[in-house]
Amino acid sequence: MAHLRVAEWDPDDDDLDEVVLIPALPASPPQFLPLPSAWWETPAVASRALTPTPEEARTARQFVRELLTAWGLSYLCEDAELIIAELVGNAVRHGLRTAPQVIPSGSQVPTLRLCLLPRVGEVMLAVTDPSSEAPRPQAASADGESGRGLQIVGALSHIWGWSPLDGTGKAVWAVLKCA
């Protein structure tokens, strides 16, 4: 079970070493949503290819901020940037590692892609990767530096999940509600 360390401070007390452990909220389980692969190719979807490096999260966050601002949704930027950073990091760390090493003849080599889809009352954020394995939230240790990414995605989004792509690969997505 993951815990959040919170320091308790009493202005009348010089002893600031008291720490209260608060159980972390579990990430909502991912929703499986079978969408046609062509759905991510529609003209309404704004997308960008991503390179398979952890540093690409910065470029992805900038892309998301620029689009949301252009769409008049800049108030969603902070949550959207955190979600995208986690999804890109997971795609690079896990989606490429578990992807099939042999690509069938005649198939397009799957890549990482960032997709944003504005819809009535919401924005869907997605990252595609070549792995067909479902994302699995993990319990992070209290002192661990990783393992909380999907918990963050679950906490910030209205709903999140994944969809398989034709052939091989998946899209991991999150939906933010517009106010």
Using H for helix, E for strand and C for coil, what is the string for 109-128? CCCEEEEEEEECCEEEEEEE
Mean pLDDT on 37-45: 80
Domains observed in the chain: 26-177 (3.30.565.10)
Determine the angle formed by the axes of helices 149-156 and 77-90, rounding to 10 degrees: 150
Report the distance separating Cα 46 and Cα 162, nearest Å. 18
Does 95 score more than 60 pLDDT? Answer: yes
Report the distance separating Cα 32 and Cα 22, nearest Å. 30
Residue 21's pLDDT is what?
A: 42
Mean pLDDT on 81-91: 92
Share of the chain above pLDDT 90, in %: 36
Q: 140 falls in which pLDDT band (50, 70, 90)?
A: low
Nearest to 35 by CA among 134, 166, 132, 163: 163
- Calculate ∠ Cα 10-5-81, nearest 5°: 115
* Token digits of residue 43: 């003209």
Q: 85 falls in which pLDDT band (50, 70, 90)?
A: very high
